Amino acid sequence: MTVGEVSSAESLRQLIGGFRISQAIGVAAELGIADLLANGPRSSSELAQATGSHPRALYRLLRALASIGIFTEVEPERFGLTPMAEVLQTDAPGSQRDTARYTASDVMWPAWGQLGYSIRTGETAFQHVHGLDVWDYRRQHPTADAIFNSAMTSGSSLQAAAIAAAYDFSGFGTLMDVAGGHGLLLTTILSANPTLRGILAEQPHVVASARPIVEQSGVADRCTVVEVDFFASVPSGADAYILKWIIHDWGDERALAILKNCREAMGQDGTLLLAEVVIPPGDTPSPGKFGDLQMMVGPGGQERTEQEFRALFEAAGFRLTRIVPTRSPLSVIEGKPI
């Protein structure tokens, strides 16, 4: 090994310590450090006073994060933003603040500590740790639910634009977004397709908060909000049905129930669109491969390969017609009724 070359052992050692980085970013996000630096660099003592933190301890945290490009020590004990730190700001486009907060919180962190339980049993570590599944836990813990929803919305802003740009929606008259949250994806697609009409179908407790957001979107005159329980049925009346990052939440049995309800709702000329990660074969890098472990830990679903999507589609009464990549990790997986 030449001077300066990193050994395999040292490379592995760095990866083993990756949990420390996640937790350090999560603490900085929880404290709102990036927001406090929005107007320029500040000393760690000032930041400690603003956040109620121990000055020396906070300096050590920021020094460690600056060493990997998150914040920069512009002069001794004085820190500023870097491009990665900027997206830890609450209002930054594609903000990762709440993703970091949720990942490092007492909600998800202990569940990942029981990954071995999931590997040994095939069961969901989250429920093993908390005694509730993800959905019931969030319903009973509104603060955690709000952080999670904010994290999903922040990530969706970039994904929605990528989906709207990659797939041609102009041939549809009405598009239904099934379990579309607060409507970010649907309103983004409607904004890019001025003749398209939309239906946002969500659970009752989500509909209540989604309606005012849709009304402020600029496309409210072309968008209807309806209640749905997609395990019971899916409303008819659309030419195409899109589900973004929904099917990966569930194992095959429950995913199949959702897709069969979509099939029943649409006519023979309808179109099914899933926005999901498609796992590539072999050693090909993909964020979905670790995302798949997240699904295993909680809520208990899975990411899928192209072959697995084809099998799921066929069992639900669809033929997978094409997969359209986007500039995000998600692809649009298109299906037509058999």
Same domain? For 193 and 74 the reply is no
- Tens digits of per-residue pLDDT, 315-327? 999 999 999 999 9
| Domain co-membership, 67 together with 203 | no
| 2: pLDDT strictly greater than 60 | no
Least confident of 30-44, 65-79, 134-148, 254-268: 134-148
Do residues 69 and 204 share a domain?
Answer: no
> Is the model more confident about 253 or about 153?
253
Is 58 in the same domain as 203? no
CATH number of residue 248's parent domain: 3.40.50.150
- CATH number of the domain bearing residue 66: 1.10.10.10
Distance of CA 125 to the CA centre of its chain: 19
* Poorest-pLDDT segment among 64-68, 117-121, 162-166, 207-211: 207-211
Domain boundary residue among 58, 79, 94?
94
- Residue 218 sits in the same domain as residue 327: yes
**Domain carrying residue 20:** 8-94
Residue 101 lies in a domain: no
* Range list of H helices, the chain: 8-16, 18-31, 33-36, 44-51, 55-66, 83-86, 97-103, 109-112, 115-121, 125-130, 134-140, 142-166, 184-192, 204-215, 252-265, 287-297, 306-316
128 catalytic? Reply is no
Per-residue pLDDT tens digits for 85-129: 999 999 998 899 999 999 999 999 999 999 999 999 999 999 999
37 in a structural domain? yes
Q: What is the 3-state secondary structure (H, E, C) of 159-185?
A: HHHHHHHHCCCCCCCEEEEECCCCCHH
User: Pairing relation of β-strands 78-80 and 72-75?
Assistant: antiparallel
| Rg of the chain over all Cα atoms, to the nearest angstrom | 22
The reported pLDDT for the residue numbered 76 is: 97
pLDDT recorded at residue 161: 94
59, part of any domain: yes
Tell me, yes or no, whether 185 lies in a domain: yes
Q: Could you tell me if 226 and 155 lie in one domain?
A: yes
* Res 219 pLDDT > 90: yes
Look at residue 93 in the predicted model and tell me its pLDDT: 87
Q: Which amino acid is at 280?
A: P
Last residue of a domain, one of 74, 94, 114: 94
pLDDT of residue 158: 85
Assess whether pLDDT exceeds 60 at residue 137: yes
Indicate the pTM of the whole model.
0.91
What per-residue confidence (pLDDT) applies to 279?
A: 98
Q: What is the pLDDT of residue 299?
A: 95
pLDDT above 70 covers what percent of the chain?
99
Domain count, the chain: 2
